Structure 1
Amino acid sequence: MFRNTLNLIYVQQRFLNVIHRKFHMTCQLRCGVVSYIYNSPSVNIRSSEDKQLLLNSLNVLKHRGPDGPPSLWQNEEKTVGLGHTRLSIIDLSDHGRQPLHSYDKKLHLSMNGELYDHDRLRKQAIENDEYDFTSESDSEIAMYLYRKYGLEFAKHLRGEFAITMYDEERKLFIAVRDCFGIKPLYYTYHENKLLCASEIKALFAFGVPAIWNEEVIYNIGQYHSLQSIYKNIHQLPPGHLLVATENGTVNISKYYETSYITREEEKNEKRTEQEMIDGVREHLFNAVRLRMRADVKVGIYLSGGIDSSVVLGMATTLTDKPIDTYSIAFKDHPFFDEEKLCIDTNKFLGPNKTTSHILEITHEQLAENFEDCVYHYEHPLAGTSPVGKYILSKLVRDNNGKVVLTGEGSDEIFSGYVFFRNDYLLHDLPNDSSTYISKNEQERQQIIKILSSNIFSSVSVLDDKQRMLDCIQSIGYFPSHYRSFFGVWPDIFAQQLKEKYKNFRLDNVYFNQSYLYDYHIKKQMINYEISRVHSSQYIFLKTIFQNILLKAFSDTSEMAHSVEGRLAFLDHHLVDYVNHLPTNIKLKLNNGVITEKYVLKEAARPYITNDVYKREKHPFTAPPTLLNPKSKLYQYVHETLNSQDMNQLEFLFDIKRLRKELNDLHKNQEQNKKYSFSELAGMEGHYLTICSCLTLAKRFHIKHE
């Protein structure tokens, strides 16, 4: 749901009362997590300041968990510490307070996020006398599963989560992140300690130095790797488990990997279209049902698109209470305003089914909230759309909301983006003889040409032969989203930075990251054993989606206001089912027209309005305003770029040239009329990126080595 179209993003934009007091120290001073373990054979190097540093870190995460004071636990040797800030959603009593401890005080856990299906698992454990629970918290299920399956426990978790746990008996520190990276978890090594935290700013508060990683910034590595723009700070890969010991060993291993139907299996598909539609509906309904479970009220982010609309439609059948819906109206620009569609959806579902909250957002508000949004995002923002979601999440909190279901993840698994259609037309369709069995080759090629020209008309094409060769060598083809994503950034960088890295391009390195790309799937991609559409979905999930969209439009904007977003489309049972559906049931060709997300549209049909059903994908985005010198956003960019403070970033960006270009922007009105929407978005994205970096530099006191 709330996001730019990706060709726009790439030019525009390119994070118990049963507890024994010996083990649980509540300091008076869900969720935020900060944990550490001394990763050294010697325990004599532990610091007496660790407790205070842990508290400092937790205090900067209070927005993630404002329900009560931060809590921490340290082992007796003070070599391990777990910290937590609480957003109480399941088990609102003190029994659910974290860090949680097992009934025998051997396991200790601090978790951010939500585990689903915990009621069934709890009942199973109690009936089989497998575990004695000390709370009703969903988080305690992780300790039960660890006791039952050991380090295989992560394979049995369902939800969005970042967990740190300490096994006192085996002296193991464990960190685990959900399958798709919905919940962030950063780690670094600092003064003999391995540190983990939900946000980077918590690591800074623990004493980790904030230093620019110019290599990552220049190569846009924060988009397509797990590195951050700060030196030595990394993400734990999604679907991975980290195990550390006090003798200095650290092991990171994969517990989950998505997979796809092969092209051969697609040819031999025996399921009927209706069976596949019914399967999608069943899996999605179950995912929504599990995410409606909470001890607080649950709302829905509603846009004018199919994703959030079907989630809301299904949710209304699962409760007798009205569901709060939260939507944005852009009255500044009718083309981007979805208010009427949202109103119609609420009416369609019937009286007393929903309570609608529609927030009108102006460009002035986007400008005013931009820097605060950047602070929470912790990376450069190249657009204002995430700011809209950030402001909307505040409305949820002001309405006493804590939990909101969202439509994120649908386009990534149902082939909703324009560039997935590009790859289908360029690669898959020409190689699928069954698609045009009744047409001759000339007619086939003509249809493909027409469809391709219609789609590519809105996509800027990159002419970069070296990058294209890198892609083909690494994965067997050149993904369409790379055509508009790369090649637009180098112009903004300082000349000395260009010279430094002109022969050090990291595309090949990024494509061969073993912790991101599974060897088996990479082999399938190179040998064209899975469709190019599915290959592109896989790459996108591993890079742009987890590194940008899930942060800027999900966790970051929501948790800044103590709101937990739940992503039904990223239930891994649903994802696994959809990934094994044929490509042509997602991109349906009929009478020369491709319908994106066809199988989802048909599965959603009973729950959505006719207008939503017929509507083509439309982005949630705010139009660029650089050509309006009176706009608050332009004034903000102009003032920031021309400030003396901006000079501190001259080692990164070509500030003098960019200042001149911005100052000249309004001198030639005739020239300005020639700019396309994407070109304007690209320019605005460049300026906002640089303004973001200045905000980060000032708020986090980042240094340059």
Structure 2
Amino acid sequence: MCGIVGFSGKESKEILKRMNDEIFHRGPDEEGFYQDKYVNLASRRLSIIDVLSGKQPIHNETKSIWLVWNGEIYNFKELRNELLKKGHKFYTDHSDSETIVHLYEEYGIDFINKINGMFAIALWDSKNKELILIRDRMGQKPLFYSFVNNEIIFSSEIKGILKYPYYKKEPNFEALNHYFTFKNIPAPFTPFKNIYSLFPGEVLIFDVEKKKKKQFKYWEIDFLKTNNDNIEEITYNIRNLLEDSVKKRMISDVPIGAYLSGGLDSSSVVSIMSKYSNSKIKTFSLGYTTFLEHKNQDIIAARKISNILDTDHYEYFMSPQELIDDLPNVLRSFDAPFSGAISTFFLTKLISKHVKVALSGDGADELFGSYLAPRLSQPLYYFEKIYKKIKSGYQLSNEDKIKLKPFENNIKFLENLYLKSNGNFEKWKYEILLFKDEEKKRLLNNGVFEYDKFNSFDLLKKDVENLKALDPLNRALELEWKTLLPDHVLAFVDFLSMVHSVEVRSPFLDYRLVEYVASLPGNLKIKNGNIKDILKKSLKGILPDKIINRKKEGFVLPVFWWLKNELKSFIFENLNEHELKNSVFNYEYVKFLLDSYYNNKENDFKLAAKIWNIVSFKIWWDLYFK
């Protein structure tokens, strides 16, 4: 696991070192450099596999191919043996890194389809004068790039590119406009002009002599594939694929641990780890110094699982003040505004004291359906069929109520959403997002922030038009797989763990499991309102029924509970008239939102989310542009 930076063009040790130092946290164990008259490559190494001889940059036998990369190849042993039989000679002891250069030698760019792992790769092919950038199928490892004076610059984190002296830092208002709707910056945008994120499953090839690039996708999730397996076969296959995925992610030359929230996803991973480990698994849970019943239940559930599986369990309790103190560090980790889940940052402080590698349950929500849009997709689809009857006074039958779960007791909510969207997917999805385009016109100061040229609904509509899935739930899952997962979930997993030099591995993101689950119909994933139904069936016998059927809480900070009291002073210190004068915000509208929230005895979570979105942006903007 590492961080990488580089650029084409004139050799400069000073610039390369400056860029590489900026991502020191991604690999504090070693640094490595390669330079010639065409390219400059550097890496920071977090030593996990082949600690002694796996130093980067890595080269082939003739030193015509050079590699810096970030990630893990989980099937490297099988691939290494295959390459040895074909006559390739390795100079490292058992490095997964060296496997990559020999695979490229043997198979060309098609080698990507042979590897199972997470990766951001920079390959220099000196014969063809091509610098090749590759990002893994799911987007677990980030990779950013820019073009300055006809040269390419790349880095695992934006901060590396910002240290390139010929790049001029400017805000990208189109990207920043979308932040207020999605709570993150959608790829390929970044907050900065002319810096882009490589898409998951994408290759960029830059000819350093001709100064030309080509980009293409080598993998995309396919919801059109279907299989005819029966339920017994499906549950067997899911369990086997998950078990093998966990086993592969336990390969390490250093100690490993696991996040344990007490929920279905992380508990299943820890259970399988315990089955295949020769020693106690170290597990880690996050709690809070202020008592909140629903959050306290997470700690209790995690302790129960730890006791059942006999893990070496650790807990980290954080306070609202710690959130205030560390929020600037969190936002620096992203180099972007972000107002989603940031729990990983705080728990990984503890994990870093014990292990370098931790497995997690990330990806299960997007595979099997858990968030609001997937939960709404089937009930809204059914509601459209019976709406005319309901308007005529029709009383819901028991069968209707089952089909509308979990919203059978909140029909008014479904009706309002249906009337606003007429059942149109992109329209009702847009309705449940944060700031709408019209509201942003009131929120943002056009004298400072260019908002009127950009439209988040059009971006969402374009994403929906490119979906291939046919059934309602799989369409919602496909959209989240291509947007929310890489841009939001995997972003916070990577940046907020790597800032503490911890590698996170996610068994649910093994491409074999992903492709199989994508081929299943939606009504197996959420069945009659039962979230992750087929996954729960697959885990029978692996976990106690109480854990399998436990209501999902989610690995998120209780920000919206703290906002009313513990964070109130912090909010007003940052969102007052003095602070917002001549800022990107219209103070009067921000004041309206604050008054609406704090003058209401009820805790309006939608308003709370907007306020947190605004204050997170304000702090980020001050860090980078004030």
Matched, 1:607 2:536: no
Q: Who is 2:488 aligned against?
A: 548
Contact 2:6–2:154 (CA<8 Å) still a contact in 1? yes
Select which of 6, 15, 36 maps to 1:53. 15
Alignment of 1:371-520 (within 5 A): 371-382=328-339, 385-386=341-342, 388-399=343-354, 401-427=355-381, 444-445=399-400, 447-449=402-404, 451-454=406-409, 477-478=425-426, 480-488=428-436, 490=440, 493-496=443-446, 501-502=451-452, 504-509=454-459, 511-512=461-462
> C-alpha displacement at 1:487, in angstroms?
3.9
Higher mean displacement: 129-138 or 236-245: 129-138
Contact 1:225–1:510 (CA<8 Å) still a contact in 2? no
Contact 1:177–1:237 (CA<8 Å) still a contact in 2? yes
Matched, 1:286 2:244: yes
Q: 1:428 to 1:80 in 2, by over 3 A?
A: farther
Select which of 552, 568, 571 maps to 2:510. 571
| Alpha-carbon separation, structure 2, partners of 1:418 and 1:512 | 21
- Aligned-partner SS, 2:407: helix
Q: 1:87 to 1:450 in 2, by over 3 A?
A: closer
Q: Who is 2:390 aligned against?
A: none
Contact 1:327–1:342 (CA<8 Å) still a contact in 2? yes
Select which of 256, 265, 272 maps to 2:219. 256
> C-alpha displacement at 1:644, in angstroms?
5.4
Contact 1:67–1:87 (CA<8 Å) still a contact in 2? yes
Alignment of 1:339-358 (within 5 A): 339-350=299-310, 354-358=311-315
- Aligned-partner SS, 2:483: helix
> C-alpha displacement at 1:540, in angstroms?
1.0
Give the alignment's Cα RMSD to 1 decimal: 3.0
5+ long unaligned stretches in structure 1: 1-29, 39-45, 433-439, 699-705
Contact 2:26–2:45 (CA<8 Å) still a contact in 1? yes
- Aligned-partner SS, 1:260: coil
| Alpha-carbon separation, structure 1, partners of 2:46 and 2:90 | 24
Q: Who is 2:79 aligned against?
A: 121
> C-alpha displacement at 1:640, in angstroms?
2.6
| Alpha-carbon separation, structure 2, partners of 1:285 and 1:212 | 45
> C-alpha displacement at 1:674, in angstroms?
3.3
> C-alpha displacement at 1:336, in angstroms?
1.6
Q: Who is 2:4 aligned against?
A: 33
Higher mean displacement: 577-586 or 214-223: 214-223
- Aligned-partner SS, 1:295: coil
Q: Who is 1:62 aligned against?
A: 24
Identity of aligned residues (%): 26
Query: Which residue identity is paired with 2:135?
Result: R
Query: Which residue identity is paired with 1:255?
Result: Y
| Alpha-carbon separation, structure 1, partners of 2:555 and 2:604 | 18
Alignment of 1:201-240 (within 5 A): 201-207=159-165, 208-220=167-179, 223-240=185-202
- Normalised by the length of structure 2, the TM-score is 0.90
Contact 2:142–2:197 (CA<8 Å) still a contact in 1? yes
| Alpha-carbon separation, structure 2, partners of 1:681 and 1:503 | 25
> C-alpha displacement at 1:676, in angstroms?
2.7
| Alpha-carbon separation, structure 1, partners of 2:406 and 2:43 | 52
Q: Who is 2:572 aligned against?
A: 638
Query: Which residue identity is paired with 1:621?
Result: V
| Alpha-carbon separation, structure 2, partners of 1:642 and 1:230 | 26
Per-residue deviation, residues 357-414 of structure 1 (Å, max 9, x unmatched) = 111111111111111111111111325x40x321211111122x11000111001011
Q: 1:159 to 1:129 in 2, by over 3 A?
A: same
Q: Who is 1:13 aligned against?
A: none
Task: State the number of aligned residues.
Answer: 609
Per-residue deviation, residues 535-555 of structure 1 (Å, max 9, x unmatched) = 111111111221111112x00
- Aligned-partner SS, 2:96: coil
Contact 1:336–1:620 (CA<8 Å) still a contact in 2? no
| Alpha-carbon separation, structure 2, partners of 1:464 and 1:443 | 24
Q: 1:570 to 1:496 in 2, by over 3 A?
A: same
Query: Which residue identity is paired with 1:392?
Result: L
Q: 1:83 to 1:503 in 2, by over 3 A?
A: closer
Contact 1:34–1:83 (CA<8 Å) still a contact in 2? yes
- Aligned-partner SS, 1:179: coil
Contact 1:404–1:566 (CA<8 Å) still a contact in 2? yes
Q: Who is 1:86 aligned against?
A: 45
Q: Who is 1:598 aligned against?
A: 533
Q: 1:204 to 1:224 in 2, by over 3 A?
A: closer
Contact 1:348–1:609 (CA<8 Å) still a contact in 2? no
| Alpha-carbon separation, structure 2, partners of 1:665 and 1:578 | 41
> C-alpha displacement at 1:595, in angstroms?
1.1
> C-alpha displacement at 1:507, in angstroms?
3.4
Matched, 1:685 2:613: yes
> C-alpha displacement at 1:218, in angstroms?
1.8
5+ long unaligned stretches in structure 2: 387-394
Q: 1:492 to 1:156 in 2, by over 3 A?
A: farther
Matched, 1:305 2:263: yes
> C-alpha displacement at 1:138, in angstroms?
0.9
Per-residue deviation, residues 298-331 of structure 1 (Å, max 9, x unmatched) = 1000002100000000001111111110110124
Q: Who is 1:17 aligned against?
A: none
Per-residue deviation, residues 42-70 of structure 1 (Å, max 9, x unmatched) = xxxx3x5x3211110110100000003x2
Higher mean displacement: 294-303 or 154-163: 154-163
Matched, 1:363 2:363: no
Contact 1:379–1:696 (CA<8 Å) still a contact in 2? no
Query: Which residue identity is paired with 2:203?
Result: L
Select which of 135, 146, 150 maps to 1:188. 146
> C-alpha displacement at 1:636, in angstroms?
2.5
- Aligned-partner SS, 1:535: helix
- Aligned-partner SS, 1:672: coil
Contact 1:377–1:556 (CA<8 Å) still a contact in 2? yes
Contact 1:301–1:327 (CA<8 Å) still a contact in 2? yes
Per-residue deviation, residues 414-460 of structure 1 (Å, max 9, x unmatched) = 1122321211122279889xxxxxxx997654544565344677899
Per-residue deviation, residues 574-610 of structure 1 (Å, max 9, x unmatched) = 1001111222221123xxxx21111111222223233
| Alpha-carbon separation, structure 2, partners of 1:578 and 1:323 | 28
Contact 1:103–1:134 (CA<8 Å) still a contact in 2? no
| Alpha-carbon separation, structure 2, partners of 1:426 and 1:626 | 29
- Aligned-partner SS, 1:111: strand
| Alpha-carbon separation, structure 1, partners of 2:562 and 2:78 | 57
Q: 1:504 to 1:227 in 2, by over 3 A?
A: closer
Q: Who is 1:108 aligned against?
A: 66
Matched, 1:531 2:471: yes
